[in-house]
Chains A and B, each alone.
Chain A
Amino acid sequence: MYLSSVWMSGYGVAADTESNLYFITGNTAAGTYNSATNISESAVKMSADLSTVDSFFTPSDVNGLDGGDTDYGSGGLMVVPDLPGRLPHLAVGAGKDGRMFVFDRANLTGFHPTDVPSHVAVGDCWCGPSYFTSGTAAAMKQNVVSSGGHTLMLWTPGPSTPVPTLTQVASAVLSFNTDQDGGFFTSVSSNGLEPGSTVIWAVGREEGTDHHVTLYAFSATPSGATLPLLWSSPHPAGFWPNTGGNANLVPTIANGRVFVPSNKEVQIFGLTANPLPLKQPFLPSTNLTALAVTGAQYWGTVKSIAANRVVLELRDGRELQVDISPAIEQGRSTEPQVGQSVIVTGKLNTDGSLQADTVYRAKGKSLWGEDRAH
């Protein structure tokens, strides 16, 4: 049985103050979406006892999202905190294709040939939003922070008739250069509404031959249409050598310190008035053992598609004929698109073509793994 999943690149299932739960689902087998029995690619509002789907939204192109492994559920769904007297109550969430939808939590609107909720483009999002309140106690303002692609964006609720909207306030582009999937994660710190206290923190994806990650700090007070960069870590804020999984790293801010997780370490940042001696990289206490994997496996770029026959261009320029029917039958295939990076696994036929058990989207060419024939 093939259902949908909850993963959200590590983001958490959310809850409002009325005990409802909110999350986004990922893909299911292409063509099996059913708004009554299999709500893939959907923002979902559910009862506390998990007995009832109170409301949901599925993008009208759900079959394309399922087929292309373009999960809406790569991103998290945030409950936008309510301000006194302010309606509607909002939730926001974006997915792999970078559309961030904004919802009235009272009714996520369901599934229609044309999407009812409005959306804004934030950049490909294996990511999740953040939030802070600004202004004065007498005039508080809601702020949504998005982190798709390489771009940090600040949004404020716009007109809500006929549906809620978001208006862009400012943005900034992060400098990291990666072949991992789009998006990154943010956190915000402030001393309540105190002017000048609000900082937006972000950790980029891995980059460079050493696969390092960078911590960024931006002022939440725009300068024109730009969020000013206050600081970025001059040395690696950590490393992410296992590049097959995205660096979905979320910084934690507490008591004057910023904690940045990564591979085998957590770095701590703070005021350097009395610097601590830098701790040296240390012996790992565990030998990591990878499972021996067998079977043919190739990375390549889709060159052409004819029915279930796909031609891949491998990294050395050779062409590989791939029969993707077994993968499709097992629901373990995306619908490949020409120009896309994919990884295929299966069995090599005597004629040199590949019988594929799985076909998945791959990250950029620099992160391709080793090909193998057996």
Chain B
Amino acid sequence: MFALPLHRKSIQSLCLLTLGFLCFLIRPQHLNAQTFNQIQFVIGTGGDDLRGDSSATATLLAPNGSTLQVITLKAQNQSGWGNNSSHTVTAALSPARAASAIGHVVITLTSHNGFAETDDNWNVQSVVATLSNGGSGAMQFINGSGSPLARLTHSAPTLTLTPLPIVPPGMFDQIEFVIGTGGDDLRGDSSATATLLAANGATLQVITLKAQSDPGWGNNTTHTVTKSLTSPLGLFGIADIVITLTSHNSVFETDDNWNVQDVVVKLSNNGSGTKQIMHAFGDPMKRLTGSDPRLALPLPPIMLGPVCAGGNNGCTNVTTYHNDAQRTGWTSTEKTLTTFNVKPATFGHIATITVDDQVDTQPLVVNGVTFITTENNTVYALNFWTGATVIHHLGAPVPTPLGCGNNGPNVGINGTGVIDPVAQTFFVDTYLSENGTPTHKIHALNLSTLAEHASSPVTVAATHSVQGGGTFTFNATYQRQRSALLLANGNLYAGYGSFCDWGGAPILAAGSWD
């Protein structure tokens, strides 16, 4: 029962029925009953201080206006809050309260004037209040800022703050993009958007990353864009994100080209409980142009219900081509699929993951994360447990090597890579066009981040005297890495052939990895 694929819409209720660490989604009607026993204020003071002999309080009011609790932010005997300082105050909520029980929060300044003193004036720049249970399960409750947000004086000593809309835990109302631009900028007169798509292809929201009126994004810069979601989404609410470049050319201008290096996407709940759902990168990840202005980034489809009974320890891992070094192709720990339920009534298509090129390799699976590699030298890690997607584009592939038609239009990662689950490393051979020169490289990628290890990649090169005379020198222009990689005896083995029998090929290359 654990591995039943669940319908997207049924997650919230099923999460209660199933169990465990995956269960971060809770029924909304239960949320109203969720209570918090702690509130934390982070208050920024601007260009006018809160004097040492003044005091400040925060009053929690019920929706009907009645006072629930008065919290001391600064007592009269505490030191003053200087200009341009930030102070954090944590207080118990007594009794514990639901977020919806608090209608407003009022911050009040009280002057306690000494002889010849006049009333204090205090510039409040920012107020962030967070509800939690002893510090865990934090939910941002109030978030206000301005310059100043309010100037509290004798005649206007209070600031009334309204809580943020209550978003249930497990749902997200904010999306953040962190986008790295590479060696070709996003021009000042161009605009860029991110389109969020649902699993059925419907557009959920179009987010402006850079408006035409915003300054350009220069070479090798990083920009962060945070936007509200028009309606809160669950962790798996987004199926695809498409980043689109639009050129707005003046008379003599040609279309803009923009190198996108990195895309990190995070969802948060009122700015808290941040979940990173994607990290895609490459050099560049993609060059957007007038004729090819879109970068499509897939997110994994829902595969909820614990992926494997017993958690990760109960997972079936397929770390190498045909399951093992003997190449049996046998998954001998399959608990769900049998000859009794693999039939039209109960078995069928449940999802499609779209990737950027032909897949000549076998998908690999570790702890419920699926690893896919393409002929465009792109590696995908899709985590059905957390919704996270990591994509690493390892470089430009070689188009139609030697005119040989035995391949797709590109040759990149042609042989299935291999995963070392102990070293948490994914090894792949890429076929790269480096300034027009074909090159084979062996990459060692971190299994969680797909980042290269310190000494990775290694360019494949070999020279060997041949029995019977002569010397063979590995020439990547001719060599094709089609057979799946092998991890055995502490070595990584890669077999090479040639494209359309052009020239010979070394039999095997081997190397150990420290």
Contact = CB atoms under 8 A, between A and B. Distances in A.
A221 B338 CA distance: 11
Contacts of A25: 507
B116 interface: no
A252 B319 CA distance: 10
A288 B353 contact: no
B354 A255 contact: no
A295 B376 CA distance: 27
B339 A269 contact: no
B328 A78 contact: yes
Contacts of B303: 257, 268
A32 to B, nearest CB: 10
Contacts of A129: 327, 329
B508 A13 contact: yes
Contacts of A289: 399, 409
B423 interface: no
A279 B326 CA distance: 36
A183 interface: no
B364 to A, nearest CB: 7
Given A37-B468, A264-B357, A6 B407 contact: no
A191 B337 CA distance: 9
B350 A188 contact: no
Most B CB contacts (10 A, CB to CB) among A132, A196, A242 go to: A242
A245 interface: yes
Interface residues of A, number: 124
A48 interface: yes
A267 B363 CA distance: 11
Contact of A1 (B321, B376, B399, B466): B466
A19 B356 contact: no
Interface in B293-331: 294-298, 301-303, 307-308, 315-318, 320-323, 325-331
Contacts of A28: 504
A61 to B, nearest CB: 19
A341 interface: no
Given A191-B333, A279-B351, A2 B325 contact: no
Interface stretch (B118-126, B184-192, B250-258, B477-485): B477-485
Nearest to A78: B327
B65 interface: no
Interface string A16-51: 100101010111100000101110000010101110
Interface string A197-214: 111000000000000000
A197 B338 CA distance: 4
A12 interface: yes
A244 to B, nearest CB: 4
Nearest to A237: B349
Contact of A188 (B329, B363, B468, B505): B329
B439 interface: no
Contact of B359 (A2, A4, A266): A266
Interface string B501-514: 11111111010000
A320 to B, nearest CB: 19
Contacts of A267: 349, 351-353
A8 B507 contact: no
A76 B495 CA distance: 12
Interface string A94-135: 000000000000000000000000000000000011111100
A186 interface: yes
B432 to A, nearest CB: 15
Interface of A: 1-16, 19, 21, 23, 25-28, 34, 36-38, 44, 46, 48-50, 69, 73, 76-81, 128-133, 145, 185-192, 194, 196-199, 217, 219-221, 230-231, 233-235, 237, 242, 244-245, 248, 250-259, 261-291, 293, 295, 331-332, 343, 345, 358, 360, 369
15 contacts: A6-B497, A15-B326, A131-B330, A252-B362, A253-B331, A253-B334, A254-B317, A255-B315, A259-B363, A266-B359, A267-B349, A272-B5, A288-B357, A291-B403, A293-B403
- 4 smallest CB-CB distances across A and B, nearest first, come from A5-B497, A6-B495, A37-B468, A12-B484
Given A10-B416, A15-B489, A265-B352, 15 more contacts: A5-B498, A6-B496, A14-B327, A15-B325, A79-B327, A197-B338, A253-B334, A257-B5, A263-B358, A267-B352, A285-B296, A285-B297, A286-B357, A288-B408, A291-B403
Interface of B: 3-8, 10, 199-201, 239-240, 242, 286, 291-292, 294-298, 301-303, 307-308, 315-318, 320-323, 325-344, 346-365, 368, 370, 372, 374, 376, 399-401, 403, 405-410, 414-416, 466-468, 470-472, 480, 482-486, 488-489, 491, 493, 495-498, 500-508, 510
